Amino acid sequence: MTDIHLIDAAARRLEGEARRTPLLSSPFLDEIAGRPLFVKAECLQHTGSFKFRGAWNAVSALREAGDVKGVIAFSSGNHAQGVALAAKRQGLPAVIIMPADAPAIKIANTRALGAEVVEFDRATEDRDEIGARLSAERGLALVKPFDMAEVIAGQGTVGLEIAEQAGELGIDSARVLVPCGGGGLTSGIAVALAARAPGFTVHPCEPEDFDDVARSQAAGQRVRNQRLAGSICDAIITPEAGDLTWPLMRDLCGPGQVVTEDEALRAMALAHDRLKIVLEPGSAVALAAALFHAGKLEGDAPLIAVASGGNVDRAMMIRALQA
């Protein structure tokens, strides 16, 4: 169970390893949102996304707990790079299992960060079977992308930093908007802020048609997405929230916010123009909610949008800038 003590322990492990990313702002964005708006620029984290935090903490905890010979993860995206770099810097081998049809650049990037990439054929092979076999043969420990207490705790350090950085600005009440896929980042931040900034409310943010968390909150029970592909916000598309993350979000978060793909692209372009940071579409949904849907958030408390990652290819950024 991820609680504030686990997050504090993660922060100690991440000290000097993760970047303390800046809280940015622009008077031009404040004007669009209609109230003060801050952006936690986690796209500037090592590997270009917050995933490095959870991966580092999980790998550290596994090492401290005992005899781990290496780690293994299933991912074609930000989690793959986070685990690869965390393992490399801790001197452990990492095996990342990726579909053979994943973009070549993602496979190359993950290899360049020192991981062994094992490709599988989605049509004919069972990735879980491959993972289980490699784990048994080599003594590898699995690092899950979100539904793992130490991963959630690592992501929760973003919340500790938000509490400190907002505190330095004299902010004691805020709406914190977080891009939400499996919910590791959202639930980690919610736990951290419940303890350290109780005047802050966390809202999960999702793209239209993939808003399982917002619908789960409305239904009072976990529901799944109907579709699992076909969104430009691929970094935050998952079947459903996790067994660990869902109860935390249910108990701690305010209503989920939903934005269109077009709004995510416009938020990317405004982040480029006004904050000088590069966001990927999935990472821009929280900023999009802040910019274009602030009216749905009661009161006039400042908004803090987490920009969770910047691993976007050039063609998609060009599309955003031309929108």
Q: Report, as residue numbers or ranges, the catalytic residues.
A: 51, 76
Nearer to a copy of itself, 23 or 205 (CB): 23
Closest CA to 70 of 114, 102, 126, 100: 114
Strands (E), 18-146: 23-24, 37-41, 70-74, 94-99, 116-120, 140-142
Nearer to a copy of itself, 67 or 168 (CB): 168
CA distance 71 to 134: 10
CB of 104 to a copy of itself, least distance (A): 14
Nearer to a copy of itself, 272 or 293 (CB): 272
CB of 171 to a copy of itself, least distance (A): 14
Chain positions contacting a copy of itself, by CB under 8 A: 19, 21-22, 24, 27-28, 31, 41, 43-44, 48, 109, 112-113, 269, 272-279, 310, 314, 317-318, 321-322
Cβ 304 vs Cβ 175: under 8 Å: yes
Polymer length in residues for the chain: 323
CB of 19 to a copy of itself, least distance (A): 6
Q: In the structure encoding, which two tokens stand for residue 178, read together?
A: 């977080």
CB of 133 to a copy of itself, least distance (A): 30
CB of 126 to a copy of itself, least distance (A): 33
Nearer to a copy of itself, 27 or 91 (CB): 27
CA distance 301 to 62: 40
Cβ 116 vs Cβ 107: under 8 Å: no
Cβ 48 vs Cβ 78: under 8 Å: yes
Helix H or strand E segment including 306: strand 303-307
Amino acid at residue number 319? R
CA distance 310 to 300: 29
Nearer to a copy of itself, 35 or 215 (CB): 35
CA distance 257 to 238: 17
